[in-house]
Amino acid sequence: MKGGDAATAALPAPVPLTRRYPWLGGLSRFGGGMLFLWPSLVLFGGFVFYPLIKSVYLGFFVSDPFGHGQEFVGFDQYREVLTSPDFRKSLGVTVLFALYTVPTGMILGLVFALLANQRLRGALFFRTVFSSTIAASVAVAAVMWLMLLNPSAGFVNWILGQFDMPRVNWLTDPQWRETWDSGPALMAVSLTTIWLNIGFTTLVLLAALQNIPQDLYESARVDGASPWSLLRHITLPMLSPSLLFVVVVSTIIAFQSFGQIHILTRGGPLDATNVIVYSIYTDAFINFEYGAAAVRAVALFLLVLVLTLVQFRFLARRVFYR
Amino acid sequence: MTLRIRYGHVAQVALTYAVLILGALVVILPIYLAVVDSLLPKEDAISYPPKIFAPDPQFGNYKKAMDAVPLARYMFNSFAQSTIITIGQLFTATLAAYAFSFMLFPLRNFLFILFLSTLMVPWEASIIPNFQTVQMMGDPPTGLAVAIAVLVGVCVGAVVAALLAGVFRGGGTARWPIRALAVAVLVGALVGILAGVGAGRAALDGKILSLDSYQALTIPFLATAFGTFLLRQHFMTIPLELRDAAAIDGYGHLRFLWHVVLPLSKPALGTLAVFAFLQSWNQYLWPLLVTNSDTYRTVQIGLAGLASQEIDSINIVMAGTIIALLPMLIIIVLFQRQLVRGLMQGALKG
């Protein structure tokens, strides 16, 4: 049709190549799609997929102190690092850190959101206050808490003093007592993290609360439901997707926390706050043991992957989707 | 009976307020005390019991903080980094999301899952090879060779894709060699300009990507699976009939994207922009690794530096902290709607 000149009109209509070779059409559409995906694919390839594989590969080599001369040791380094006491310690610290921050943060966020969502005078003010910490970056939060946790002039110890409790060296005491495996340092880092994340949690849950249709409550109230059963049978089930989201995201955040530890404790005292990400940092960029650090990085990747999948599998069953 | 309910109600409201006020106090206290400390004279900031008012505000502390470290430069760097990343993510995510919602092509679902799978890789797990990449690229002879090889590879890939897409479109009739030539020349010219700019830059200082540069701070973050997903969710709400109608009017994909899809997607683009900016502004580990001079250091790393340098002057450290907090506070107040919408997208569909 397009070739309307005399020469082609006289000949039989040309058969489109795609009719003779149908796969050409698919190839053509694939080319079109790839044109649009190309920028993203190149970047993902270079900065996500390649480094992931490279990390696994680096784990097979022991690095010299300068970080380049490498000796192939196969799985020996994986075995050595993953069974070493300091890896076990950092794994324990990481898990404990997640246990300190994730449930506390979620419960606090839920309480704040539920209360600030009620029809009260000043509710908007409280909503704004609770979500305000989302403006604080990790560094801002950590430096603020550095001041609050100052053993001699900090506000936290002053409050403790008002209740006749002894001062705590928040950032330098590795243990509360000999028997406890974790001490004030990890608690201090956790406090900072909970404060930092509370804005995000509250904001997500508030937005989710406002998305629950009001007629659900009205019809339940007509049926004589108590406030408690409204909460239990309407609010919480309707919130469950957002609660799942908060749990998954704050777990991932906990496993990736670095800035607050770098500013507050540098992994110390006595490795009490040496989470996996921090040990990757010290191994790779302070000690230049890229191989050992890569093993930890691979372990971190698998850990986060498994945790996310498990959370989705087990928690998702309890989640109510409209 | 009614009386008892009313009493119960009053007690309930009082309890609610008590918890709200206590919670608000705890949440706002760190920021409030930071502001107070930033306005105190040096001795008062470390006095015991801690001061909770600043009767004689020392605004000069802010000037001192700006002088102690180049805070203004750090802020500028953070702004530059966040702006470049935001624009880059808007560009790459729009293109990818468009392909995933308006184009049918082999392997589409596989590629989409491949995109989503990048969300499962914590950035910290791939940070060592990424650091090595940047280090190697900044090392002139090898880096230049690798950079040119990568540029050529990327360009060849784009040209092949464009050829495939352009040549056999509409069936591929007898004229396809001419069309192939036209497409090749056009895309080749475009890509040639890009490569030329890159090579020109490289020829000037021998590196396209190196430690201590804006490239190192931004290039690894220019693509985003979250953003692609977010935009795709929105693009899917645009009826396909619109695409068909536009196609009849002779609109190609790019024209349809520019004139129809983008104007309809401003809220989603705004959400992605706020998110991208916030996330890049808050980065800590990567800027810590790749910047080592004041010229490129971001405000987060600069603040940590200020805190350890001025460890004895809490008032100055707090003044610096408030300066670093302020831009984000303003952005969040201005763009709260976009932010909440983004959070909901993640919460409901993630």
CA distance B92 to chain A (A): 6
Q: Is B343 on the interface with A (CB under 8 A)?
A: yes
Domain count, chain A: 2
A322 pLDDT more than 80: no
**Residue A178: φ, ψ to 5°:** -60, -35
pLDDT band at B6 (very low <50, low <70, confident <90, very high): low
A132 and A254 within one domain: yes
Least confident window among A139-148, B18-27, B38-47, B179-188: B179-188
B3 pLDDT more than 50: no
Q: Is B50 on the interface with A (CB under 8 A)?
A: yes
Q: Are B309 and B70 in contact (CB under 8 A)?
A: no
CATH superfamily placement of domain B71-127+211-309: MetI-like (1.10.3720.10)
pLDDT digits (tens, 9 = 90+) for A222-244: 888 888 888 888 888 888 888 88
Residues from chain A contacting residue B133 (CB–CB below 8 Å): 46-47, 51
B346 pLDDT more than 60: no
B47/A153 CB distance under 8 A: yes
**Substitution target from A21, A28, A61, A172 for chain B, most B beta carbons within 10 A:** A28
Tokens 């058969």 belong to residue: A15
Residues from chain A contacting residue B253 (CB–CB below 8 Å): 32, 36
CA distance B275 to B262: 18
A66 pLDDT more than 70: no
CA distance B325 to chain A (A): 6
A290/B344 CB distance under 8 A: no
A158 and A92 within one domain: yes
A136/B158 CB distance under 8 A: no
- Mean pLDDT in residue range B91-111: 93
pLDDT digits (tens, 9 = 90+) for A243-279: 888 888 889 889 999 999 999 988 878 888 899 999 9
Q: Mean of the per-residue pLDDT values for chain B?
A: 84
pLDDT of res. B257: 92
B299 pLDDT more than 90: yes
Map residue A319 onto helix, strand or coil.
coil
Domain-located, residue A198: yes
CA distance B113 to B119: 10
A139 and A53 within one domain: no
pLDDT digits (tens, 9 = 90+) for B246-280: 888 888 888 899 999 999 998 889 889 988 998 89
User: Greater confidence, B142 or B317?
Assistant: B317
Least confident window among A74-83, A163-172, A192-201, B20-29: A163-172
A94 and A40 within one domain: no
Domain-located, residue A27: yes
Facing A51 at nearest CB: one of B37, B129, B325: B129
Give the burial string for A150-164 (b: 16+ CB within 10 Å, else e): beebbbbbbeeeeee
Facing B169 at nearest CB: one of A28, A50, A133: A28
A309 and A258 within one domain: yes
pLDDT band at A18 (very low <50, low <70, confident <90, very high): low
CA distance A32 to B225: 20
Q: Mean of the per-residue pLDDT values for chain A?
A: 84
ipTM of the complex: 0.85
Which residue, A252, A171, A34, A186, is CA-closest to B350? A252
Residues from chain B contacting residue A58 (CB–CB below 8 Å): 128-129
Residues composing chain B? 350
Provide the CB-side half-sphere exposure for A25 (13 A, CA): 10
CATH number at residue A299: 1.10.3720.10
206-235 in chain B: CB under 8 A from chain A:
219-225, 228
pLDDT of res. B171: 54
B163/A33 CB distance under 8 A: no
Can you state the angle between helices B2-38 and A184-210, rounded to 10 degrees?
Answer: 130
pLDDT of res. A212: 85
pLDDT of res. A13: 61
pLDDT of res. A177: 57
User: Greater confidence, B97 or B204?
Assistant: B97
Q: Is B136 on the interface with A (CB under 8 A)?
A: no
pLDDT of res. B1: 40
A34/B285 CB distance under 8 A: no
Facing B284 at nearest CB: one of A48, A258, A305: A258
A85 and A59 within one domain: no
B113 pLDDT more than 70: yes
A104 pLDDT more than 80: yes
User: Greater confidence, A150 or A41?
Assistant: A41
A87 and A144 within one domain: yes
Domain ranges for chain B, please list them.
2-64, 71-127+211-309, 139-208
Out of A4-18, A68-82, A221-235, B213-227, give the one with best mean pLDDT: B213-227
User: Greater confidence, A19 or B80?
Assistant: B80
**Residue A72: φ, ψ to 5°:** -75, 125
- Domain residues for the domain of A62 are 17-72
How many Cβ atoms from other residues are within 10 Å of residue B149's Cβ?
Answer: 10
- Mean pLDDT in residue range A177-203: 83
B18 pLDDT more than 50: yes
CA distances from B252 to A27, B110, B314 (A): 18, 25, 60
CA distance A179 to chain B (A): 31
B327 pLDDT more than 60: yes
Residues from chain A contacting residue B225 (CB–CB below 8 Å): 44
Percentage of the residues of chain A whose pLDDT score is greater than 90:
33
pLDDT of res. A3: 43
Least confident window among B14-28, B35-49, B174-188: B174-188
- Mean pLDDT in residue range B6-23: 82
CA distance B37 to B61: 10
Peptide bond before A269: cis, by omega within 30 degrees of 0?
yes
pTM for the whole thing? 0.86
Give CA B138 to chain center in angstroms: 24
CA distance A180 to chain B (A): 27
pLDDT band at A1 (very low <50, low <70, confident <90, very high): very low
Can you state the angle between helices A138-148 and B2-38, rounded to 10 degrees?
Answer: 90
Out of B17-31, B129-143, B154-168, give the one with best mean pLDDT: B17-31
User: Greater confidence, B178 or A47?
Assistant: A47
A98 and A26 within one domain: no
Q: Are B156 and B173 in contact (CB under 8 A)?
A: no
- Mean pLDDT in residue range A49-67: 84
A48 and A160 within one domain: no
A63 and A94 within one domain: no
pLDDT of res. A224: 83
Give the 3-state DSSP-derived string for chain B, with helices as H, strands as E and coil as C: CHHHHHHHHHHHHHHHHHHHHHHHHHHHHHHHHHHHHHCCCHHHHCCCCCCCCCCCCCCHHHHHHHHHCCHHHHHHHHHHHHHHHHHHHHHHHHHHHHHHHHCCCCCHHHHHHHHHHHHHCCHHHHHHHHHHHHHHHCCHHHHHHHHHHHHHHHHHHHHHHHHHHHHCHHHCCCCHHHHHHHHHHHHHHHHHHHHHHHHHHHHHHCCCCCCCCHHHHHHHHCCCHHHHHHHHHHHCCCCHHHHHHHHHCCCCHHHHHHHHHHHHCHHHHHHHHHHHHHHHHCCCHHHHHHCCCCCCCCHHHHHHHHHHHCCCCHHHHHHHHHHHHHHHHHHHHHCHHHHHHHHHHHHHHC
With CA atoms as reference, the chain B residue closest to A129 would be B24
Map residue A10 onto helix, strand or coil.
helix
pLDDT of res. A221: 84
A89 pLDDT more than 80: yes
With CA atoms as reference, the chain B residue closest to A1 would be B173
A62 and A90 within one domain: no
Domain-located, residue A128: yes
- Mean pLDDT in residue range B163-192: 69
Percentage of the residues of chain A whose pLDDT score is greater than 70:
87
Domain-located, residue A179: yes
Which residue, A253, A255, A297, A303, is CA-closest to B128? A297
B348 pLDDT more than 60: no
- Mean pLDDT in residue range B20-40: 90
CA distance A302 to chain B (A): 9
End-to-end CA distance of chain A: 52
Map residue A68 onto helix, strand or coil.
coil
Sign, Cα dihedral of A315, A317, A318, A320: positive
Domain-located, residue A1: no
Q: What angle do CA B112, B116, B122 make, to 5 degrees?
A: 155
How many Cβ atoms from other residues are within 10 Å of residue B348's Cβ?
Answer: 17
A92 and A60 within one domain: no
CA distance B204 to chain A (A): 24
With CA atoms as reference, the chain A residue closest to B320 would be A140
